[in-house]
Amino acid sequence: MKELSSLQIERLKYQPKLPSSLAGGINNLSLTEGNKTKAVKDCEQIEELFKNTYGKPVVTFKTSSVNEASPKRNIGVILSGGQAPGGHNVIAGLYDALKQANPENKLYGFLGGPSGIIDGEYIEFTSEKINAYRNTGGFDIIGSGRTKLETEEQFQKALQVCKNLGITGVVIIGGDDSNTNAAMLAEWFVKNNAGIQVIGCPKTIDGDLKNEQIEISFGFDTATKTYAELIGNILRDANSAKKYWHFIKLMGRSATHVGLEVALQTQPNITLISEEVEEKKMSLKQIVDYIANIVAKRADMGKNFGIALIPEGLIEFIPEIKSMISNLNDVLAELETDSSFKSADDNTKFETIKNKLNAQDSAVFNSLPVLIKQQLLMDRDPHGNVQVSKIETEKLLIEMVSTKLAEMKKAGKYNGKFSAQCHFFGYEGRCAFPSNFDADYCYSLGYNAFALIKFGLTGYLSSVKNLSAPASEWVAGGVPLTMMMNMEKRHGQFKPVIKKALVELNGPVFKVLEENREVWAFEDKYIFPGSIQYFGPSSVCDITTETLKLENAAKLTAV
């Protein structure tokens, strides 16, 4: 038996809170349907691809005085994509709901992500198994994976596995790509009269799976609080030592929700937002100048220290870098079979690349530090593209800011000292003990997912709203997955995908950063959030993110 920490022992005892509509029991529910829905974009194409599941209504649950018996069901569950705190509680909520509905119900967990349902790798959950993972971080209860469910062969294999186990419902816990898988599988099952329902649950610490119906994806709350604690510690250290600039890269490749939330929780001196960089068409030089000018002005104030937050995906949002990487992908594809290029030294490779890129992209590539050039030429990802996530943007900016400051010093425009430290916070937040908010939210999502199955729905995403209110006031229901979809170009072909939600520059969350940016840059209004609290008053333990508070407050104001 593995050893448990004192905190884990106590967390296993925690009973997550449910919305009042679900707390009355899984067999005491009524369902209310809203109006028919349509896709967020490209409606005709999405409807053509999802003829059997398109246009379904948003639904909500209410407590009913009628207790309806539930027939025996076997359900399968899949964890898909990167880890996010709270995944185990989604499974626990699903398990508790189905056992409450009918003690003979069974829950099967497919191992290693979507590949488990194709290969027939699974376990049957028991109460003992579930109880050992309640309120814990990670996806280790059954593991995860990134296999896409999109081919006829895969669907046929999944169907056979489900038939062998008597499964009539599958819950896929994942992000935008994973829930696109769920939509595809749901449509195929209906088209082929398989009698198997598919329900998704919104997961991603990046925070980019959200819309009017999905206020937040699970894991975002815990991850941002974890990063905020670490950054708060560094802020305190910087303010104590007063001699280092810390450049901190934060997870969030496609959107900067994480960086923005952590900035609001800690108030660092510099926060870069990828979406703003793209909107303003900021060049790499402009970004470097912006940082260097703040460093220089703080030095004039006797402050040779500070904190800069850098989004993981920043480099892809800088127009000239984005263009260069696109051109570089084509060049590397052309050189893929060139053995002399592969065996050449770095300088020869750099020269070859420089000569093959168009003039503008060549100049950008040539301007980059050697370390970044090397990272750009690393092995490409499975789709044949440069692995942008491995580019150490924080080191790139440190080197270029240092060079800029040296030029300013020569010109008599800077007299400070610049000593920098770099950090990357990503994996540190993906498997943390879920906050009380995420523990409650995830349990509710899982419990609610079974409610959707119980009412015969398929192609839906489990939805719990009104999340800035106490848990008892949350609103449980479901959203058709097709409502969130549009067509995007993937690997040269247009495919249906769930649309990512980027930071809205006109939204209430970014506006707070924009309004305070100048003050935070120079007046050191640092906040030290400390660690996530699990015990104590609700005002400390059940708080959610600044993002959720601000967005929900804006909705109420609009109403």
Highest mean pLDDT among 18-22, 69-73, 313-317: 18-22
| Residue 378 and residue 507 in one domain | no
pLDDT band at 46 (very low <50, low <70, confident <90, very high): very high
Task: Examine residue 48 and state whether it is found in any structural domain, yes or no.
Answer: no
| Residue 349 and residue 281 in one domain | no
Average pLDDT value for residue range 480-507: 91
| Residue 442 and residue 413 in one domain | no
Task: Examine residue 23 and state whether it is found in any structural domain, yes or no.
Answer: no
DSSP of 36-101: E---SS-HHHHHHHTTTTTTPEEEEEEE-SS-------EEEEEE-SS--TTHHHHHHHHHHHHHHH
Task: Answer yes or no: 206 catalytic.
Answer: yes
User: Higher model confidence: residue 510 or residue 313?
Assistant: 510
Average pLDDT value for residue range 367-377: 90
On the question of pLDDT at 333 being above 90, the answer is: no
* Chain length of the chain: 559
For residue range 196-238, list pLDDT tens digits in order: 999 999 999 999 999 988 999 999 999 999 999 999 999 999 9
Task: Examine residue 30 and state whether it is found in any structural domain, yes or no.
Answer: no
pLDDT band at 68 (very low <50, low <70, confident <90, very high): confident
On the question of pLDDT at 509 being above 90, the answer is: yes
**3-class secondary-structure state, position 533:** coil
Helices (H), 122-256: 127-131, 152-165, 176-191, 220-241
On the question of pLDDT at 278 being above 70, the answer is: yes
| Residue 415 and residue 509 in one domain | yes
Q: What's residue 100's pLDDT?
A: 97
| Residue 294 and residue 334 in one domain | no
The CATH number linked to 325 is 1.10.10.480
Share of the chain above pLDDT 90, in %: 89
pLDDT band at 253 (very low <50, low <70, confident <90, very high): confident
For residue range 443-475, list pLDDT tens digits in order: 999 999 999 999 999 999 999 999 999 999 999
On the question of pLDDT at 404 being above 60, the answer is: yes
- Mean pLDDT, the chain, rounded, equals 95
| Residue 264 and residue 403 in one domain | yes
Average pLDDT value for residue range 91-102: 98
| Residue 119 and residue 178 in one domain | yes
Q: What's residue 476's pLDDT?
A: 98
Task: Examine residue 17 and state whether it is found in any structural domain, yes or no.
Answer: no
On the question of pLDDT at 407 being above 60, the answer is: yes
pTM of the model as a whole: 0.94
137 touches 434 (CB < 8 A): yes
| Residue 350 and residue 302 in one domain | no
Q: What's residue 135's pLDDT?
A: 98
| Residue 77 and residue 215 in one domain | yes
Task: Examine residue 233 and state whether it is found in any structural domain, yes or no.
Answer: yes
Average pLDDT value for residue range 507-530: 98
pLDDT band at 389 (very low <50, low <70, confident <90, very high): confident
| Residue 262 and residue 366 in one domain | no
Task: Examine residue 408 and state whether it is found in any structural domain, yes or no.
Answer: yes
The total number of structural domains that make up the chain: 3
The CATH number linked to 237 is 3.40.50.460
pLDDT band at 386 (very low <50, low <70, confident <90, very high): confident
Q: Which domain holds residue 83?
A: 67-219+434-481
The CATH number linked to 140 is 3.40.50.450
Q: Which of 206, 208, 221, 440 is catalytic?
A: 206
Q: What's residue 2's pLDDT?
A: 65
pLDDT band at 556 (very low <50, low <70, confident <90, very high): confident
| Residue 278 and residue 424 in one domain | yes
Task: Examine residue 559 and state whether it is found in any structural domain, yes or no.
Answer: yes
On the question of pLDDT at 505 being above 70, the answer is: yes
Task: Examine residue 494 and state whether it is found in any structural domain, yes or no.
Answer: no
On the question of pLDDT at 390 being above 90, the answer is: no
Tokens encoding 126: 């028991």
Q: What's residue 254's pLDDT?
A: 86
| Residue 528 and residue 407 in one domain | yes
CA atoms within 13 A on the CB side of 195: 8
Question: 526-529: long-range contacts at Cβ-Cβ below 8 A with a sequence spacing of 24 or more?
Answer: 526/232, 526/235, 526/236, 526/239, 526/266, 526/267, 526/268, 527/232, 527/235, 527/265, 527/266, 527/267, 528/232, 528/233, 528/235, 528/236, 528/266, 529/225, 529/228, 529/229, 529/232, 529/265, 529/266
On the question of pLDDT at 381 being above 80, the answer is: no
